[in-house]
């Protein structure tokens, strides 16, 4: 598929897909005329990249996380410098803080909707569970 179709399938603008490629987060095959060509694996990869960036990771850290995921899928233990481990530990703390903030926001929105006349719009998995 060409970049326009990848954009349609993922909802990611073509300009952003080119940026991901420039940052070595996404790759493509090139045809003789220079057009980019993508397959199904690229759809999943592009969505993963977007999700990591939307979660607050820099493009550099996104590349690191994607590389770590690939290494973790292998049988051999990953190689990690102390400096990278410290950076990842800091990122882990930042991710936990963002998750806690997002959880509070989700709960506030769910509670507001539940208390409104539109509580039926809250999916069952997002309904707040209060002790009886």
Identify the three-state secondary structure at position 37.
Answer: strand
Say how far apart CA 7 and CA 16 lie, in whole Å: 9
Is the pLDDT at 90 greater than 90? The verdict is yes
Are 22 and 52 in the same domain? Answer: yes
Look at residue 132 in the predicted model and tell me its pLDDT.
46
């080119």: which residue's tokens? Answer: 18
- Shared domain for 88 and 74, answered yes or no, is no
Average pLDDT over residues 62-84: 87
| 52 & 33 share domain | yes
26 DSSP assignment: S
Same domain, 71 and 89: no
Residues 68 and 46 in one domain: yes
Of 54, 52, 75, 74, nearest in space to 63 by CA = 52
Residue, of 34 and 108, whose pLDDT is higher: 108
| Mean pLDDT estimate for the chain | 90
Give 45-68 pLDDT, tens digit per residue.
999 999 999 988 999 999 999 998
Angle in degrees, 0-180, between the axes of helices 59-72 and 40-54, rounded to the nearest 10: 120
Residue 44: which domain range?
A: 1-78
For residue 92 the two structure tokens come to 């882990």
| Residue 23, token pair as written in the block | 């940052």
pTM of the full predicted structure? 0.76
Q: Which CATH number does the domain housing residue 33 bear?
A: 1.10.1660.10
Q: What is the pLDDT of residues 2-31, one digit of tens each?
A: 999 999 999 999 999 999 999 999 999 888
- Quick one: DSSP state of residue 117? T
Q: Which of 34-43, 96-105, 120-129 has the lowest average pLDDT?
A: 120-129
**Alpha carbons 4 and 16: distance in angstroms, whole number:** 12
Q: Are residues 14 and 67 in the same domain?
A: yes
Total domains in the fold of the chain: 2
């Amino acid at each position: 598929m060409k970049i326009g179709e990848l954009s349609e399938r993922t909802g990611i603008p073509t300009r952003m897909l080119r940026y991901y490629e420039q940052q070595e987060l996404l790759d493509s095959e090139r045809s003789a005329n220079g057009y980019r060509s993508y397959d199904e694996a690229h759809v999943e990869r592009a969505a993963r990249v977007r999700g990591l960036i939307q979660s607050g990771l820099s493009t550099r850290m996104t590349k690191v996380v994607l590389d770590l995921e690939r290494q973790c899928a292998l049988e051999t233990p990953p190689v990690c410098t102390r400096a990278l481990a410290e950076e990842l530990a800091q990122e882990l703390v930042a991710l936990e803080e963002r998750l806690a903030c997002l959880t509070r926001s989700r709960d506030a929105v769910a509670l507001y909707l539940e208390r409104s006349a539109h509580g039926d719009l809250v999916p069952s998995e997002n309904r707040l569970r209060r002790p009886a």
